[in-house]
Chain A
Amino acid sequence: MIILIDGQEVKASSGETILSAARRAGIHIPTLCYHENFAGQGQGRCRLCLVEVEYQGVKRIVTSCTYPITAQIKVRTSSLRIEQMRKNIVMLLYKQAPASSLLQSMYCEYGCQENLLQDNPGEKCILCNLCVLACEEMGSSAISLIMRGTDKKVATPYDEAAQTCLGCAACAAICPTQAIEVMERDGVRIIWNKEFKLLNCKHCGQPFATEEQINFVDSKGNYSDMLHYCQNCRQKMAARRIKDFR
């Protein structure tokens, strides 16, 4: 079906989210807890992706990452009200995680004003849950969101080194606010209270992945030798093979 987003005609399939349709059409809607790796699982946690939906004369403000298109709606990605709400969300997020440079710049970008609300000094996590989803995707599920309300946080069970943690740091990579600490030194990586020995690339000798990570991927299928090379070298080798093939 055809819907309108900011006056533009966009083709959408029934049940598809507004955000998905908008992205395809190149229309920008700000997000924080959304990632294209989990396109089908819009979370609705950060509420930043608010849009106005009009249908049969009724207007509603909804989160575009979870709202399914089931009729020919008219969508506006911005309005005075939406901007006001987004500004407040950013303000609340900044107060929650003032140490995040992303939120610091968003604070200015959205024109948030100084206020005396309390903040959490040193905090960077905005509880977007993307790290948990990434870890699930990897097959480890070493971390999860625990507790509830303002006690909610991302953690391993009992805050201990998780048995299933591979040290792959996919969580840290996907985190929009760099809230996950990864320490690397002398061929050792420490993440989520667990120490990992880093393997060196067979070609360039740089440490690139943990032993556990490589073993895990290895166990999933026949990946041959390629596993023991870092991303850069693997790309170069693949490129060379293609060149040789020609």
Chain B
Amino acid sequence: MMQNKHNDGRQVLVCCGTGCLASGSKQVFEAFKSQLESVEGVEALVSTKATGCNGWCEQGPLVKILPDDITYCLVKPGDVSTIIQKTILEHEIVEKLLYRDPLSKKRIKSHHELNFYRKQKKVALRNIGEIDPASISDYMEREGYQALNKAFSMLPRDIINEVIKSGLRGRGGGGFPTGLKWMNCFEQEASRRYIICNGDEGDPGAFMDRSIMEGDPHTIIEGMLICALAVGASAGYIYVRDEYSLAVENLARAIQDARDRSLLGRNIMGRDFAFDIEIVRGGGAFVCGEETALIASIEGNVGEPRDKYYFPSEKGLWGCPTVINNVETWANIPVIIGQGAEQFASVGTENSKGTKVFSLVGKVVNTGLVEVPMGTTLREVIFEIGGGILRGRKFKAVQTGGPSGGCIPAELLDLELDFDSLAAAGSMMGSGGLIVMDERTCMVEVARYYLNFLAGESCGKCVPCREGIRHMLEILSRICEGKGRSGDLELLENLAETVQEVSLCGLGKTAPNPVLSTLRYFREEYLAHIEDHLCPAGICRDLTRFSIDPIKCTGCGLCKKSCPADCIIGESKAVHSIDSTKCIKCGSCVDSCRFDAVVINQEVGK
């Protein structure tokens, strides 16, 4: 077993978040472990850690060397021996494994120098990528459980007031003031109270909760402990989405480690305080991210929500006052209690304090998790941190808030990311998904996509959601197939109103948002589909035709090579053409052409 001298030893941190794992980082990690063990004299000084997601998945597998502060990218198992030889033993940098800035062409030594990281402020993600999530010692070395210790010296009401003062609002999408929720629970007359962590992250495109549960499980446990102490609860549940098996594993280990150190169970930290946590795995239902549906699920029922005329903080799990908060919300609690509310509230905007983790994905150069102060503009996040649009294309829209949110067009790029600004623009913060779209994204199809998603996830309990979404989806599908009729848009808007107003829960109430926001900002695209039977973005198959402009085509043959349907004909250096009878409209040719010769829905001369 390797010695672990953190003070004078070096560390090799191998990112084992999902993105890097998928690119083979596990093999890189094992290679480091086994090869370092066999190098004489080194094993006592260097420790290898598998960390959670660094957020920069494009460049993974990522390997960081500390305290040198070197970040190696796209590391393969074959590179490990070179790194050990040159960097560990000879203290030299392996240039070819450094990130190369595409504009300046310079090699960057550390990720800290990159815009992607420099502009971020990690609070909820403060430990991820820096610690081994399986090690409680790592967590404790970075002030872990010190906030809990401090909380023991505070009165319950003072703990709650600190959270209120911080201005923290729920990070799962609702944006409800967290402190008020706790206070409401605290003030109920009850003999039993419960704490729940909502880890049923369901927004497609969002993976911040996954990263926190996998990469820093103890921050959640500590947050829940502080709340349990404050409101007076003795049992907590972490509801984890079924698909997140690594999160379940890491949380389970963290819970056991905490128990072993008297941080969970009875007599916590030697005090007269008992609290324990149970993990509940979800069953694959997006609706269970809704508080009352989640509670129903824990109780052993189907995940059908109920009318929220009583808040869960009044009547929640088994009818008892329950605090239910999102993963990222919990991750902020130790920081608020540890550093104080004032410090926390010094960041952010007037009504949205602190930072927010966004998952920046889609047609953007740097994809991954990004944590920035509330109030940062969309432009900063997408262009400065995200590095702009892939392939130099034009920004078209960014979808925020998942299926409950809306699309923000280019003219609103200077919008400040906070709860109220996004709501005013017809969208919402949601869990923090930012899906960047370019001119090759069809906004009508995006609306159809989200409705299709919600149709499959609706629990089916109430009429407006179940039936309303079905009809809206049918209309949008017809439009995307070129069978749109006049009056369709008015019908959509009418249905949307009923679904919004009358649905029982948040899923239904917010379901029309993507349709309404795309209608608001991209109505002409809808009209092109309905009236002209054309899809301007070239996505809707029945309304798209790809052809090659003979003037621009150089005959390089790249499109032909990329075509999975073998429908492009042409000799080398001669003009190519597409056989539209075989074309499957996948768009690979458009993506591969470097001369903009593949055109959409245009007549081309011979």
- Chains A and B share a contact (CB less than 8 Å): yes
Query: A residues near B, CB below 8 A?
Result: 44-47, 50, 61-63, 66-68, 85, 88-89, 92-93, 95-96, 115-118, 126-127, 145, 147-152
A71 to B575, CA, bound (A): 78
> Which residues of chain A come closer than 8 Å to B588, judged between CB atoms?
none
Chain B 468-503 per-residue mask, 1 if CB under 8 angstroms from chain A, else 0? 101100100000000001010001001100100111
- Shortest A83–chain B CB gap in Å is 12
Please give 4 more A-B residue pairs, beta carbons under 8 A apart, in addition to A92-B471, A148-B285. A88-B502, A92-B498, A127-B466, A149-B460
Among B307, B455, B503, the one with the most A-chain Cβ atoms within 10 Å of its Cβ is B307
> Which residues of chain B come closer than 8 Å to A46, judged between CB atoms?
462-463
> Which residues of chain B come closer than 8 Å to A68, judged between CB atoms?
309-310
- A86: nearest residue on chain B (CB-CB)? B502
A50 to B462, CA, bound (A): 13
30 contacts between A and B (CB under 8 A): A44-B306, A45-B461, A47-B463, A47-B464, A47-B502, A62-B307, A63-B504, A68-B309, A85-B502, A88-B495, A88-B498, A89-B463, A89-B464, A92-B467, A92-B498, A93-B467, A96-B463, A117-B474, A127-B460, A127-B466, A147-B460, A148-B302, A148-B457, A149-B456, A149-B458, A149-B466, A150-B455, A150-B466, A152-B460, A152-B466
Interface set, chain B 38-87, CB cutoff 8 A to A: none
- B454: nearest residue on chain A (CB-CB)? A149
A85 to B62, CA, bound (A): 55
- Shortest B502–chain A CB gap in Å is 5
> Which residues of chain A come closer than 8 Å to B309, judged between CB atoms?
62, 66-68
Task: Select which of A63, A85, A117, A151 is within 8 A of B460 by beta carbon.
Answer: A151
A68 to B287, CA, bound (A): 24
- A15: nearest residue on chain B (CB-CB)? B310
- B488: nearest residue on chain A (CB-CB)? A116
Q: Is the CB of B307 within 8 A of A67?
A: yes
Shortest 5 CB-CB contacts between residues of A and residues of B:
A152-B460, A92-B467, A88-B498, A66-B307, A149-B458
Task: Select which of A67, A85, A96 is within 8 A of B467 by beta carbon.
Answer: A96
A154 to B495, CA, bound (A): 26
> Which residues of chain B come closer than 8 Å to A45, judged between CB atoms?
461-463
Given the known inter-chain contacts A66-B307, A88-B498, A116-B485, please indicate yes or no for A148 contacting B459, CB distance below 8 A.
yes
> Which residues of chain A come closer than 8 Å to B459, judged between CB atoms?
148-149, 152
A96 to B466, CA, bound (A): 10
> Which residues of chain B come closer than 8 Å to A145, judged between CB atoms?
302, 460
A117 to B502, CA, bound (A): 19
- Shortest B515–chain A CB gap in Å is 15
- Shortest A129–chain B CB gap in Å is 8
A117 to B504, CA, bound (A): 22
A147 to B487, CA, bound (A): 33
- A92: nearest residue on chain B (CB-CB)? B467
Q: Is the CB of B504 within 8 A of A44?
A: yes
Q: Is the CB of A150 within 8 A of B463?
A: no
Q: Is the CB of A89 within 8 A of B502?
A: yes
Q: Is the CB of A148 within 8 A of B458?
A: yes
A124 to B461, CA, bound (A): 17
A92 to B504, CA, bound (A): 15
A88 to B498, CA, bound (A): 7
Q: Is the CB of A47 within 8 A of B462?
A: yes
> Which residues of chain A come closer than 8 Å to B457, judged between CB atoms?
148-149
Given the known inter-chain contacts A47-B464, A127-B460, please indicate yes or no for A149 contacting B502, CB distance below 8 A.
no
- Shortest B533–chain A CB gap in Å is 19
Q: Is the CB of B501 within 8 A of A85?
A: yes
A152 to B461, CA, bound (A): 8
Number of A-B contacts (CB under 8 A): 93
Q: Is the CB of B485 within 8 A of A150?
A: no
> Which residues of chain A come closer than 8 Å to B468, judged between CB atoms?
92
Size class of the B contact interface (CB-based, 8 Å): 20 to 34
- Shortest A112–chain B CB gap in Å is 12
Q: Is the CB of B463 within 8 A of A148?
A: no
Q: Is the CB of B467 within 8 A of A115?
A: no
A63 to B463, CA, bound (A): 13
> Which residues of chain A come closer than 8 Å to B471, judged between CB atoms?
92, 95, 117-118
A66 to B309, CA, bound (A): 8
- Shortest A15–chain B CB gap in Å is 9
- Shortest B118–chain A CB gap in Å is 45
Q: Is the CB of B455 within 8 A of A149?
A: yes
- Shortest B188–chain A CB gap in Å is 13
- A126: nearest residue on chain B (CB-CB)? B463
- A60: nearest residue on chain B (CB-CB)? B309
- Shortest A82–chain B CB gap in Å is 10
- Shortest B295–chain A CB gap in Å is 15
Q: Is the CB of B491 within 8 A of A115?
A: yes
Q: Is the CB of A61 within 8 A of B498?
A: no
> Which residues of chain A come closer than 8 Å to B287, judged between CB atoms?
148
> Which residues of chain A come closer than 8 Å to B495, judged between CB atoms?
88
Q: Is the CB of A85 within 8 A of B498?
A: yes
- B465: nearest residue on chain A (CB-CB)? A149
- Shortest B594–chain A CB gap in Å is 45
A67 to B459, CA, bound (A): 21
> Which residues of chain A come closer than 8 Å to B462, judged between CB atoms?
44-47
Given the known inter-chain contacts A92-B498, A150-B455, please indicate yes or no for A47 contacting B504, CB distance below 8 A.
yes
> Which residues of chain B come closer than 8 Å to A66, judged between CB atoms?
306-307, 309
- A116: nearest residue on chain B (CB-CB)? B485
- Shortest A115–chain B CB gap in Å is 7
- Shortest B287–chain A CB gap in Å is 8
A95 to B458, CA, bound (A): 18
Among B306, B461, B491, the one with the most A-chain Cβ atoms within 10 Å of its Cβ is B461
- Shortest A13–chain B CB gap in Å is 16
- A151: nearest residue on chain B (CB-CB)? B460
A85 to B501, CA, bound (A): 8
> Which residues of chain B come closer than 8 Å to A88, judged between CB atoms?
464, 494-495, 498, 502
- A129: nearest residue on chain B (CB-CB)? B461
> Which residues of chain B come closer than 8 Å to A63, judged between CB atoms?
307, 504
Interface set, chain B 259-306, CB cutoff 8 A to A: 285, 287, 302, 306
Among A46, A47, A117, A145, the one with the most B-chain Cβ atoms within 10 Å of its Cβ is A47
Q: Is the CB of B455 within 8 A of A92?
A: no
Chain B 380-394 per-residue mask, 1 if CB under 8 angstroms from chain A, else 0? 000000000000000
A66 to B463, CA, bound (A): 15
> Which residues of chain B come closer than 8 Å to A61, judged between CB atoms?
501-502
Q: Is the CB of B307 within 8 A of A150?
A: no
- Shortest B221–chain A CB gap in Å is 32
- Shortest B468–chain A CB gap in Å is 6
- Shortest B488–chain A CB gap in Å is 9
Q: Is the CB of A150 within 8 A of B498?
A: no
> Which residues of chain A come closer than 8 Å to B501, judged between CB atoms?
61, 85
Task: Select which of B306, B307, B463, B502 is within 8 A of A93 by beta carbon.
Answer: B463
> Which residues of chain B come closer than 8 Å to A67, judged between CB atoms?
307, 309
Among B287, B462, B463, B502, the one with the most A-chain Cβ atoms within 10 Å of its Cβ is B463
